[in-house]
Every structure is written in C-alpha cells, then in structure tokens.
C-alpha cells in the first residue's frame, strides 16, 4: 500500500517553538482541538510530548485526514485521536475544549473563516480555555518583514480572499466573542503565536 503520510518542511522548523509556548500556557491535562491539522505532524509531535493532552485533530481534506491516520498508525500515541472531518465555518457538533489550535490557517482562508473561528471558539472553549493562533500577522497595519509582504502579495494573487491578517483585526474579532489577548510571542520565520483566553 502507498504511504499516505504527508510531510511539511515548515513543521520541522516550528513544531518545537510552538510546543514550548503551548507547554507554558496549557495545563498538564487538557482536551485539545486542532483545526486544519494538515499533515498531522504537529499533532503527532504535541500529543507525543504531553500524554496528558487529549488531542483531537481535524481537517476538511480527505487527503489530510488520511495522512493524520497514517502517522497515527505508524507512531501515534494513545492520546492522539482519529481525525474529524470538520469545516471551521460550519457548525461544530462537538463539546467543549480546554484549547483550540489553528496553525497557519487564517492567511490561507477567507476572512469569514476567521470570523467563524472566533465565534465557534467562544462557544466551545471552557472558561479559561485557550485559543492558540500561529502564523504571519501584520502589526499596526504594516508587515513585519519584506518576506511577509512578498508572501502576502503572492497569497492575494492566488486568491483575493486570502492574505496576512492584521493582528488588531484578529484580536478585536476575538474580543467580540469573549476571547482576550493574553500573549504575543515572536516565532521563527517572522511568524507570531497569539494566545487568546476565554474569560
């Protein structure tokens, strides 16, 4: 049988720095929902590092879910669950979580997806729960690097609805759903980690 596992070069660069932030802001035992989990390599790394994190990956792409399942089958820990077919912008037939993650999602989706994400996170996070967002963001209406500006232009050429989001617009939308910005952490390759917490 062909190997369904996908590989993302970016994961090898950012998974450990992301894990370090998550370790600081999440409790030792937590129920976690990962949105748009892609290849599943982040889920594998994070769940493997913290057996107390009950990790639920999700992705609307059948190819991505097949990759997540393949990684689980090869080396996945018991706390890494079968991926869900979940569209961020649709209703989530799920309960509550201690954390919701979206890594490299907001810039490759229409802004309506970001709005839906904030609303759903407000509904599905436990009190005190964390919404963790990772990716490139503009600050004060400006790109943080020339490479991000070029990346943004390329994204908008590919789909006018895509693009690097303004940090202030993201946090304002989150605040409208009871999610307050707790921390902004500079990450490799001109990315940021945003930690938003439900009141």
- For residue 135, give the 3-state DSSP assignment: strand
pLDDT tens-place string over residues 128-182:
999 999 999 999 999 999 999 999 999 999 999 999 999 999 999 999 999 999 9
How does 53-87 read in b/e, with b if 16+ C-beta sit within 10 Å?
Answer: bbbbbbbeeeebbbbbbbbbeeebbebbbebbebe
pLDDT tens-place string over residues 97-134:
999 999 999 999 999 999 999 999 999 999 999 999 99
pLDDT tens-place string over residues 128-142:
999 999 999 999 999
Tokens read off for 106:
């907001």
- For residue 87, give the 3-state DSSP assignment: coil
Whether residue 25 is contained in a domain is answered as: no
CA dihedral 32, 38, 39, 45 (to 10 degrees): -30
Q: Which domain holds residue 121?
A: 38-108+116-193
- Provide the CATH number for the domain around residue 167: 3.40.50.150
- The edge-to-edge listing of strands for the beta sheet with 97-103 is 53-57, 30-35, 97-103, 125-135, 191-198, 179-187
Distance (Å, whole) CA 126 – CA 55:
15
Whether residue 149 is contained in a domain is answered as: yes
Mean pLDDT, rounded, of the chain: 96
Whether residue 18 is contained in a domain is answered as: no
- The residue written with tokens 């895509």 in the block is 162
Whether residue 100 is contained in a domain is answered as: yes
Whether residue 5 is contained in a domain is answered as: no
- The residue written with tokens 């503009």 in the block is 138
Closest to 156 measured CA to CA, from 198, 117, 111: 111
Residue 1: predicted pLDDT:
53
The pTM for the full model equals: 0.96
Q: For the residues 182-191, what does the mean pLDDT come to? A: 96
Whether residue 56 is contained in a domain is answered as: yes
Confidence of residue 47 (pLDDT cuts 50, 70, 90): very high
CA dihedral 54, 60, 65, 67 (to 10 degrees): -110
Q: For the residues 3-11, what does the mean pLDDT come to? A: 91
Let me know: does 83 contact 68? Beta carbons within 8 Å: yes
Domain count of the fold of the chain: 1
Whether residue 16 is contained in a domain is answered as: no
Whether residue 87 is contained in a domain is answered as: yes
């Amino acid at each position: 049988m062909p190997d369904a596992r996908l590989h993302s070069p970016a994961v090898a660069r950012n998974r450990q720095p992301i894990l370090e932030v998550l370790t600081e802001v999440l409790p030792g035992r937590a129920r976690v929902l990962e949105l748009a989990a892609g290849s599943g390599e982040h889920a594998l790394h994070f769940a493997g590092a913290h057996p107390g994190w009950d990790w639920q990956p999700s992705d609307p792409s059948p190819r991505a879910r097949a990759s997540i399942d393949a990684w689980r089958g090869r080396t996945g820990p018991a706390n890494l669950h079968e991926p869900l077919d979940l569209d961020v912008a649709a209703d989530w037939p799920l309960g509550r979580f201690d954390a919701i993650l979206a890594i490299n999602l907001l810039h490759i989706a229409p802004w309506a997806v970001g709005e839906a994400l904030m609303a759903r996170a407000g509904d599905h996070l436990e009190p005190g729960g964390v919404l963790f967002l990772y990716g490139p963001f503009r600050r004060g209406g400006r790109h943080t690097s020339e490479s991000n500006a070029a990346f943004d232009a390329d994204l908008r050429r590919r789909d006018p609805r895509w693009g690097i989001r303004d940090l202030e617009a993201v946090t304002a939308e989150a605040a409208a759903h009871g999610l307050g910005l707790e921390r902004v952490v500079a990450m490799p390759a001109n990315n940021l980690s945003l930690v938003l917490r439900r009141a």
